[in-house]
Chains A and B, each alone.
Chain A
Amino acid sequence: MTELRFADASDAALVLRVGRYNREALAEIYRRHGGAVFGLARRLVSDQARAEEITQEVFLRLWNSPEKFDPARGALRSYLLAQCHGRSVDAIRADVARRRREESEHRKTAEAGYDLEREVMDMVTAERVRNSLAALPSVEREPIELAYFGGHTYREVAEILSEAEGTVKSRIRAGLKRLRTDLLTEGVTA
């Protein structure tokens, strides 16, 4: 049998091995993408311990259900980050709901917590992403940031920005399409 050299294997080949319960393959996937997943979780939930829990959940899900990853629908990193984002947002909303129950505090004005100057894993990708994002009209950029990095629903975003819900949806859609065009046509992939 040919031994797969994990360090040289593609992400897809590694997931294939995870499907055969190979823990070393999962370890290699974690080595490649664990930092990105954890970084996103930490940014979103702003809590080291919770971010670690979310990261753990994401990789356990891949271990338990590798068939959920469909390489035809995107890169492994995209999949893992989407999983991470969903869980992080759930955590944010659960925390918000808890706080609402515990105290009748004033509703906070959303802060996307956006910081373009911080280091990123892939500097080339980061620069292009930053450039593309910065080039977006603010009416498209703001709702994307509030939704994706702020963990807000589009209805909340509409309220924060004092815009109609339909307007927010259409601007997010237009912004995402513009970003996709800018980034993917340059060969930038996740």
Chain B
Amino acid sequence: MTANHPPSNDSAGASQLDELLCVYALDAVEAPERAQVEAYLLSNADARDEVDGHHEVAALLAVGTTDAAPDAPAGLWDRISEAIDDNPITEADAQQKEFPELSAPAATRQRPGDVPTSSGEGSASTSPALSESTPGGSPKSVLPPSSASQPNRARRIGAPLLAAAAALLLIGGFLAGRVLSSSNDGAPSVEERASAIFDDPDARSVSLISEADDTLVVPAAFGADDIGYLDGSTLPELPNDRTYQLWAIYDDDDVVSLGVLGNDPGIKTFLADEDLSVLVVTEEVRGGVTSSANGAVVAGEI
């Protein structure tokens, strides 16, 4: 938590909004102020951190001083389950998702001062399609939801599978971020951990390669904690309105977005399930996509 928020175009307004963060976290603001604060939070990471800290304390208050029911009411889960059946996720809902960037060391996570460059422009369009570039000859591709076939998915509704996978991506990235952020006190940095994993001959690893440019190799490796590390520093920098996006293909053919990597990625972390079989990086519009029609920039079979 901090009050040292970056200066804003409207420093007086920002100061007033800073003062509202604590009461916002307790849901103690009225609707117009809530909207103002939420808009402010979108552009201010320090403010988000402060609200997160307040939320954590509020949760402790709730858990520690509330007459919590050890078991929620009987039958409530059944009603939740029925509601899930009655309200399938629509594709339109899924398409509204926007993906934050995967966790990364602070030094490489945000680059507000970056100058747009065209050095990487068009790399996806010149790359082979994923279905062609996936190593091992497995005919897997990053398909739109309507094309994805998931016969073994024990799911009643035919919701957009890739969108769901895309949601997972985001979660995967954040999961990794959680693990890393919670071990910051004196623990090795992300770069140090990644370096140790990359140097460990016993670590599971994979090289993501480009069929268009055999000099382009992106290493990835997996720690014992199911956290994957990807060194995207060899990827060409993209313009600011573009991003690299990391995808996973699982043994059951689930295609899952693991998160956006940004336009100039360095070391990135992601959650790696044991049934992960292929990693793919595509180039997308900034913010990422729920399903990609673009070819792989690099791909590697694990």
Contacts and interface: CB of A to CB of B under 8 A. Distances in A.
A81 B27 CA distance: 12
Interface of A: 1-2, 12-13, 15-16, 19-21, 23, 26-27, 30, 34-40, 42-43, 48, 52, 55-56, 59-60, 63-67, 69-75, 77-79, 81-82, 84-86, 89, 114-116, 118-122, 125-130, 133, 144, 147-149, 151-155, 157, 166, 168-170, 172-173, 176-177, 179-180, 183-184, 188-190
Interface string B43-67: 0000010001111111111111111
Which of A60, A73, A147, A149 has the most chain B CB atoms inside 10 A of its CB?
A73
B67 A118 contact: yes
A15 B80 CA distance: 16
A128 B64 contact: yes
A21 B171 contact: no
Given A39-B67, A114-B65, A78 B165 contact: no
Contacts of A170: 19
Given A52-B76, A157-B28, A36 B62 contact: yes
A87 to B, nearest CB: 9
Contact of B61 (A79, A129, A172): A129
B72 A38 contact: yes
A69 B1 CA distance: 19
Nearest to B166: A67
B81 interface: yes
A114 B61 CA distance: 11
- Among A20, A82, A151, the one with the most B-chain Cβ atoms within 10 Å of its Cβ is A20
Interface of B: 1, 19-23, 25-30, 48, 52-73, 76-77, 79-81, 83-84, 87, 89, 93, 97, 99-100, 103, 153, 155, 159, 161, 164-168, 170-172, 174-175, 177-179, 181, 250-252, 254, 256, 271, 273-275
B170 A16 contact: no
A5 B93 CA distance: 30
A157 B26 CA distance: 12
A120 B54 contact: no
Given A118-B67, A173-B22, 19 more contacts: A23-B84, A34-B71, A36-B62, A40-B66, A48-B73, A60-B84, A67-B168, A71-B171, A78-B59, A81-B62, A84-B62, A126-B64, A129-B60, A130-B64, A153-B23, A153-B29, A155-B30, A176-B58, A188-B60
Contacts of A65: 167
B63 A1 contact: no
Contact of A74 (B55, B84, B100): B55
Consensus secondary structure, chain A interface: helix
Contacts of B179: 12, 71
A133 B61 contact: yes
Q: Which of B55, B59, B73, B161: most chain A Cβ within 10 A?
A: B59
A48 to B, nearest CB: 8
A56 B254 CA distance: 28
Contacts of B70: 35, 121
30 contacts: A35-B68, A38-B69, A38-B72, A38-B73, A40-B68, A59-B80, A65-B167, A67-B170, A71-B178, A71-B179, A72-B174, A74-B56, A77-B59, A85-B27, A85-B58, A86-B27, A114-B65, A120-B64, A120-B67, A126-B65, A129-B64, A147-B23, A148-B61, A153-B28, A169-B20, A169-B23, A179-B57, A179-B60, A180-B54, A183-B57
A188 B159 CA distance: 39
B59 A190 contact: yes
The 3 closest A-B pairs by CB, nearest first: A129-B64, A71-B178, A39-B68
Contacts of A81: 58-59, 62-63
Contacts of A35: 68-72
Nearest to B100: A70
Nearest to A92: B27
B284 to A, nearest CB: 16
Contact of B175 (A12, A55, A82, A126): A12
A67 B171 contact: yes
